[in-house]
């Protein structure tokens, strides 16, 4: 008999009910109206037409019927090498524990896997968050339950062969985490990164652990890299949204928050798991900056991140915001539920950056074509100007969550409810945008293989990295690979065919490489030669923790001047348009420029001037160590001429080496 696991109170319906409580707590008239709509059996309202612009082409591709899936929730569809789109449903399928499906651009649906295929669901149950395309062409995702009962990570081929890679909760109290919900991220190192909403060693007010962040190799080797909500819980807990990798290689995401506890935040995490909170929402009364952020962030061409909140703003219906990598937040737009020209509310799924430079997203509530509002699709400029592209009416879906841009230029998304059976839909929206190329990964070194998705690749005659030609392999009409060439520049990748060209919608970051430092030490003002690969676009050099002046000699060589105040024993760092790299350690040697007086008997106090004296361990007069000396600052020392000293050089020794005066101190 198949195991009938009890779904914990975190499914789509209870999450939406929880949001109702939050909305009601605001005493908003819109919130009270939304509460009437947001139920597990949402009423489908028969509204005949949509207010979508005539220039836009909306099409419902599939209405789920339960056996083929139900409630595609908290996910973005993922484009495969074959050009089809892949996704998951939280419920439904052959066993009603969720499914993996693919759908063609024309709407042909194929169920690839139904979860809980055998007793006790060792393959997982209730997938939430969608799929990530791996560099092997397979897809990777998570389930909320199953495995050991607390969730799994799985790999599935485009043909539907599923392998369970990891089962959460291997020990008492689940120190490795439990209940993952956000999509996995394929990072530049070839590994997948994700989070769980619970488990770990954190506390967070009796929530059974504050959740964890983890790394998973494509082969299934799991490593926990961060426990949320430990100690005083300064990073809060329960991360449920996807991670994104920034241009700097770090990961960025939001924690949605919880009514009555905290209002959400934006955080940054290094690949080794060090978390920094960049911003906390609702920092002033009435929360004009937003409350409860959701979905993935999107990094714009300006290097800033863009996202949405579900509540807060001028009308308490959510916001669209910009935040710098350093944490400065600007609220660009406040949604207005059913206000003409500003439709939408409960914007929980973030935004997608399209190839026209604008951001596209969905509001799960609001609009005018469905009583109480079934949600909208919108376009947003980087300045916060909104255009409503489609209003859902129930029969075509409701409560939309996230859209992607497929390489043909159209947008695709899912609704967890609505449609003919009220089990959700998949839809497409054409806005007239042109075709482009999409990169599976966006960071790599010279010699790396870059996977490119698109269309019309048959007959490709060239691939270039910001104008630098590369070798390539035209695998199929919708998939090809290219090798990052020597001299490649960070920028867009262009695929050229006999009839047209496709530019990538993303920037490809060519990671710099460091191979040598010469010399390995030197004084302030001396020149250091830095050797490596992909150094043409160098923007900064640091030596001893200080910014150094530099000159780019070639793609493989940069020279730099040791700056004043540089500390010894630290690596030299180079930052380019493609990323940053540190290498080795550099010894900043002390340097004596002069001393006064220049002569005197034993017992004379001598002031020695120069650079890099901090940390000095010894000063000698003709090799006789002074028994009394003091470091005044990095550029000055004082010492007493010791007994036994003779006329000769003064030497200062620090952890970085020894500096010798150019002239003698004369002992009288």
Instruction: Tell me how far apart the alpha carbons of residues 379 and 290 are, in angstroms, rounded to a whole number.
Output: 19
**Residue 459: pLDDT above 80?**
yes
- Residue 260 belongs to some domain of the structure: yes
**Residue 558: pLDDT above 60?**
yes
* Range(s) of the domain holding residue 653: 591-667
Q: Are 198 and 178 in contact (CB under 8 A)?
A: yes
List, for residues 283-331, the tens digit of each pLDDT value: 889 999 999 999 999 999 999 999 999 999 999 999 999 999 999 999 9
Q: Are 16 and 23 in contact (CB under 8 A)?
A: no
DSSP letter at 67 equals T
How many residues can be counted in the chain? 668
- Residue 269 belongs to some domain of the structure: yes
List, for residues 392-435, the tens digit of each pLDDT value: 999 999 999 989 999 999 999 999 999 999 999 999 999 999 99
- Residue 3 belongs to some domain of the structure: no
CB contact set of 221 (below 8 Å; sequence gap of 6+):
none
Q: Tell me what the mean pLDDT of segment 372-389 comes to.
A: 94
**Structure token digits, residue 561:** 């001047």
pTM here is 0.86
Instruction: Tell me how far apart the alpha carbons of residues 398 and 344 are, in angstroms, rounded to a whole number.
Output: 12
How far from chain centre, in Å, is Cα 345? 25
Instruction: Tell me how far apart the alpha carbons of residues 50 and 59 are, in angstroms, rounded to a whole number.
Output: 11
List, for residues 525-544, the tens digit of each pLDDT value: 999 999 999 999 999 999 99
Q: Comparing C-alpha atoms, which of 455, 463, 462, 461 is closest to residue 436?
A: 455
pLDDT of residue 208: 59
| Lowest-pLDDT choice from 341-345, 482-486, 599-603 | 341-345
Instruction: Tell me how far apart the alpha carbons of residues 330 and 283 are, in angstroms, rounded to a whole number.
Output: 12
- Residue 455 belongs to some domain of the structure: yes
Q: Tell me: cis bond preceding 597? Omega within 30 of 0 counts.
A: yes
Same domain for 148 and 185, yes or no, is yes
Same domain for 563 and 459, yes or no, is no
**Structure token digits, residue 188:** 């530049």
CB contact set of 550 (below 8 Å; sequence gap of 6+):
538, 540, 541, 558, 559, 560, 561
Q: Are 530 and 553 in contact (CB under 8 A)?
A: no
- Residue 4 belongs to some domain of the structure: no
**Residue 345: pLDDT above 70?**
yes
- Count of CA atoms in the C-beta half-sphere (13 A) of 218: 15
pLDDT of residue 431: 97
The pair phi, psi for residue 397, each rounded to 5°, is 115, 165
| CATH code of residue 663 | 2.60.40.10
- Residue 311 belongs to some domain of the structure: yes
Look at residues 588, 616, 633 and tell me which one is the last residue of a structural domain: 588
DSSP letter at 417 equals B
Looking at mean pLDDT, say which of 47-61, 349-363, 369-383 comes out highest: 349-363
Same domain for 595 and 576, yes or no, is no
Same domain for 276 and 299, yes or no, is yes
Same domain for 223 and 350, yes or no, is yes
pLDDT of residue 7: 38
Q: Comparing C-alpha atoms, which of 208, 327, 200 is closest to residue 273?
A: 200
- 10 Å CB burial of residue 328 (0-12, 13-18, 19+) is exposed
Q: Count other Cβ atoms within 10 Å, centred on residue 159.
A: 9
CB contact set of 453 (below 8 Å; sequence gap of 6+):
79, 80, 81, 83, 407, 437, 438, 439, 440, 478, 479
Instruction: Tell me how far apart the alpha carbons of residues 151 and 499 are, in angstroms, rounded to a whole number.
Output: 48
Same domain for 615 and 655, yes or no, is yes
| CATH code of residue 248 | 2.130.10.10
Handedness of CA 361, 367, 370, 374 (dihedral sign): positive
pLDDT of residue 369: 78
- Residue 301 belongs to some domain of the structure: yes
Helices 12-25 and 29-37, interaxial angle, to 10°?
Answer: 160
Q: Which pLDDT band, with edges at 50, 70 and 90, does 203 fall under?
A: low
Look at residues 544, 562, 588 and tell me which one is the last residue of a structural domain: 588
DSSP letter at 212 equals E
Q: Are 257 and 265 in contact (CB under 8 A)?
A: yes
- Residue 371 belongs to some domain of the structure: yes
Q: What is the dihedral of CA 416, 421, 426, 430, to 10 degrees?
A: -120
pLDDT of residue 209: 76
Instruction: Tell me how far apart the alpha carbons of residues 443 and 450 are, in angstroms, rounded to a whole number.
Output: 9
Same domain for 328 and 342, yes or no, is yes
- With residue 14 as reference, give the H or E element that holds it: helix 12-25
Same domain for 475 and 553, yes or no, is no
Q: Comparing C-alpha atoms, which of 195, 10, 182, 168 is closest to residue 88?
A: 182
- The larger pLDDT score, comparing residue 47 to residue 298, is at 298
Domain count, the chain: 4
**Structure token digits, residue 598:** 């220049």
Handedness of CA 475, 478, 481, 482 (dihedral sign): positive
According to DSSP, the residues that pair with 195 across neighbouring strands are: 213
**Residue 473: pLDDT above 80?**
yes
CB contact set of 354 (below 8 Å; sequence gap of 6+):
360, 405, 411, 433, 505
Instruction: Tell me how far apart the alpha carbons of residues 270 and 302 are, in angstroms, rounded to a whole number.
Output: 21
Same domain for 170 and 28, yes or no, is yes
Instruction: Tell me how far apart the alpha carbons of residues 432 and 411 are, in angstroms, rounded to a whole number.
Output: 10
Q: Comparing C-alpha atoms, which of 452, 444, 449, 441 is closest to residue 503?
A: 452
Instruction: Tell me how far apart the alpha carbons of residues 281 and 291 are, in angstroms, rounded to a whole number.
Output: 6
pLDDT > 70 fraction of the chain, expressed in percent and rounded: 91
Same domain for 151 and 273, yes or no, is yes
Q: Which pLDDT band, with edges at 50, 70 and 90, does 3 fall under?
A: very low
- Reduced to 3 states, what is the DSSP secondary structure of residue 416? coil
CB contact set of 549 (below 8 Å; sequence gap of 6+):
560, 561, 563
Q: Comparing C-alpha atoms, which of 325, 332, 340, 339 is closest to residue 358?
A: 332
Q: Are 401 and 349 in contact (CB under 8 A)?
A: yes
Same domain for 643 and 574, yes or no, is no
Q: Are 455 and 521 in contact (CB under 8 A)?
A: no
Q: What is the dihedral of CA 298, 137, 216, 254, to 10 degrees?
A: 10
| Lowest-pLDDT choice from 339-348, 534-543, 552-561, 650-659 | 339-348
Look at residues 430, 448, 482 and tell me which one is the last residue of a structural domain: 430
Same domain for 475 and 516, yes or no, is no
List, for residues 226-251, the tens digit of each pLDDT value: 999 988 888 889 999 999 999 989 99
Q: Comparing C-alpha atoms, which of 44, 109, 36, 122 is closest to residue 72?
A: 109
List, for residues 640-662, the tens digit of each pLDDT value: 999 999 999 999 999 999 999 99
């Amino acid at each position: 008999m198949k195991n009938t696991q009890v779904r914990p109170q975190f499914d789509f319906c209870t999450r939406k009910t929880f949001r109702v409580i939050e909305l009601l707590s605001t005493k908003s008239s819109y919130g009270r109206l939304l509460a009437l709509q947001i139920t597990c059996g949402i009423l489908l309202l028969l509204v005949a037409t949509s207010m979508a612009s005539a220039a836009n082409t909306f099409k419902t591709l599939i209405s789920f019927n339960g056996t083929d899936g139900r409630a595609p929730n908290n996910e973005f569809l993922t484009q495969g090498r074959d050009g089809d789109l892949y996704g998951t449903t939280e419920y439904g399928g052959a066993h009603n524990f969720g499914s993996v499906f693919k759908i063609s651009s024309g709407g042909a649906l194929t169920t690839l896997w139904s979860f809980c295929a055998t007793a006790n669901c060792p393959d997982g149950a209730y997938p939430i968050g969608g799929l990530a395309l791996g560099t092997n062409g397979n897809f990777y995702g998570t389930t909320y339950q199953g495995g050991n009962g607390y969730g799994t990570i799985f790999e599935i081929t485009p043909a539907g062969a599923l392998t369970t890679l990891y089962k959460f909760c291997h020990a008492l109290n689940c120190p490795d985490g439990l209940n993952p919900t956000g999509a996995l991220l394929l990072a530049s190192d070839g590994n997948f990164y994700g989070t769980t909403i619970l488990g770990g060693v954190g506390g967070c007010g009796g929530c059974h652990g504050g959740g964890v962040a983890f790394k998973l190799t494509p082969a299934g080797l799991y490593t926990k890299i961060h426990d949320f909500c430990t100690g005083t819980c300064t990073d809060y807990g329960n991360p449920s949204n996807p991670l994104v990798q920034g241009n700097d290689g770090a990961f960025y995401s939001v924690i949605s928050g919880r009514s009555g506890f905290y209002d959400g935040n934006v955080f940054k995490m290094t690949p080794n798991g060090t978390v920094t909170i960049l911003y906390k929402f609702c920092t002033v009364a009435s929360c004009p900056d937003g409350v409860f952020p959701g979905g993935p962030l999107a990094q714009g061409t300006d290097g800033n991140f863009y996202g949405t909140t579900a509540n807060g703003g001028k009308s308490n219906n959510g916001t669209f915001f910009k935040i710098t990598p350093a944490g400065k937040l600007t609220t660009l737009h406040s949604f207005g539920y059913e206000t003409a020209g500003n439709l939408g509310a409960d914007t929980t799924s973030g935004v997608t950056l399209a190839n026209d430079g604008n951001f596209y997203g969905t509001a799960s509530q609001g609009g005018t074509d469905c009583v109480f509002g079934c949600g909208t699709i919108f376009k947003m400029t980087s300045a916060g100007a909104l255009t409503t592209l489609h209003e859902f009416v129930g029969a075509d879906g409701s409560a939309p969550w996230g859209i992607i841009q497929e390489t043909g230029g159209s947008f695709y998304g899912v609704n967890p409810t609505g449609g003919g059976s009220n089990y959700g839909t998949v839809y497409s929206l054409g806005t007239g945008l042109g075709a482009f190329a999409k990169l599976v990964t966006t960071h790599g070194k010279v010699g790396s293989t870059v996977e490119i998705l698109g269309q019309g690749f048959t007959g490709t005659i060239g691939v270039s990295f910001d104008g630098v030609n590369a070798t390539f392999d035209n695998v199929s009409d919708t998939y090809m690979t290219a090798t990052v060439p020597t001299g490649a520049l960070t920028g867009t990748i262009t695929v050229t065919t006999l009839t047209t060209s496709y530019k990538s919608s993303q920037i490809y970051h060519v990671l710099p490489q460091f191979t040598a430092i010469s010399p390995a030490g030197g004084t302030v003002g001396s020149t250091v030669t830095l050797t490596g690969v992909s150094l043409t676009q160098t923007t900064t050099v640091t030596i001893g923790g200080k910014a150094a002046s530099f000159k780019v000699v070639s793609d493989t060589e940069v020279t730099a001047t040791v700056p004043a105040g540089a500390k010894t024993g630290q690596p030299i760092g180079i930052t380019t348009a493609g990323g940053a790299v540190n290498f080795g350690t550099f010894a900043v040697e002390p340097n004596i420029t002069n001393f006064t007086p220049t002569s005197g008997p034993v017992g004379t106090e001598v002031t020695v001037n120069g650079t890099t004296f901090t940390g000095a361990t010894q000063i000698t007069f003709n090799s006789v160590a002074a028994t009394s000396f003091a470091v005044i600052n990095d550029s000055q020392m004082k010492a007493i001429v010791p007994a036994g000293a003779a006329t000769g050089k003064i030497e200062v020794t620090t952890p970085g080496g020894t500096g010798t005066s150019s002239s003698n101190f004369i002992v009288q």
